[in-house]
Amino acid sequence: MNKAAALTKLRDDISKDISLPLREANLVFGEGNPGSEVMFIGEAPGFYEDREGRPFVGQAGKLLNKLIEETGWKREDVYITNIVKRRPPSNRDPLPEEIEAYESYLKTQIEIINPKIIATLGRFSMNYFFPAAKISKDQGQIFWWNDKLIYPLYHPAAALRSTAVLEDLKKSFQKLPELVKDYEKLLAERKDIVTEGSPTPEPPKINQIKLF
């Protein structure tokens, strides 16, 4: 099965799974280039995402598009999704049990896309991979999760509230093309591009990921 067909089947499986929480909201599965080397993973859909059934289409999404374009890529070149595939009521934070319920689907989605780099947007997405990581300390650093380079970034919504966060986010985005280019070398060396202050933890095995 090719990647597009595997994603269609996965979307179907999620929509049929009546055990999942938040089923009163629309499914926001994810979109983009299934062959992308870079996958962005946010937190959960908001009002506009729920309405359109697409990730990152509100104000935070507009900023994400701009940041992607400033790297020289287009939104359609990359793949974008969330850890939780339906909107929590009133845009509240996703609950641990909601993250856990959608966990196996995100894992399959990652396996299908098989990106080199996973850029996490915000602390929930970062903590999915590294529960002990802290966004203010670890954003813009590089980590390994098996053969995937995990690149924690601030959530674009946080950058809309703070110019300091926006500046950091812009700087981190500018390094993305270089990370893609250097991926094989970095994987071979398992060395951080930014070493100073980076507490790179041992990469947990995919099946050993603990959620909270």
Cβ contacts of residue 198 below 8 Å, gap of 6+? Answer: 138, 141, 142, 192
Q: Which is nearer to ligand URA, 46 or 115 (CB)?
A: 46
- Interaction between residue 56 and ligand URA (CB under 6 A): yes
Rounded Cα gap, residues 27 and 6, in angstroms: 17
Positive or negative, the Cα torsion across 33, 36, 40, 44? positive
CB of 26 to ligand URA, least distance (A): 12
CB of 57 to ligand URA, least distance (A): 7
Q: Which is nearer to ligand URA, 86 or 144 (CB)?
A: 86
- Interaction between residue 43 and ligand URA (CB under 6 A): yes
Rounded Cα gap, residues 95 and 93, in angstroms: 6
- Interaction between residue 55 and ligand URA (CB under 6 A): yes
CA torsion 186-176-116-1 (nearest 10°) is -160
- Interaction between residue 135 and ligand URA (CB under 6 A): no
Type of residue found at 157: A
Type of residue found at 43: E
- Interaction between residue 82 and ligand URA (CB under 6 A): yes
Residues in the chain: 212
* Range in contact with ligand URA (rule: CB under 6 A) among 39-47, 93-101, 102-110, 183-191: 39-47
CB of 61 to ligand URA, least distance (A): 6
Interface pick for ligand URA out of 30, 42, 115, 152 (rule CB under 6 A): 42
Q: Which residue is nearest to ligand URA (CB)?
A: 42
Whether 122 and 154 have beta carbons less than 8 Å apart is answered as yes
Rounded Cα gap, residues 15 and 10, in angstroms: 9
* Range in contact with ligand URA (rule: CB under 6 A) among 17-25, 55-63, 99-107, 171-179: 55-63
Q: Which chain residues interact with ligand URA by CB under 6 A?
A: 42-46, 49, 55-56, 58, 60-61, 82
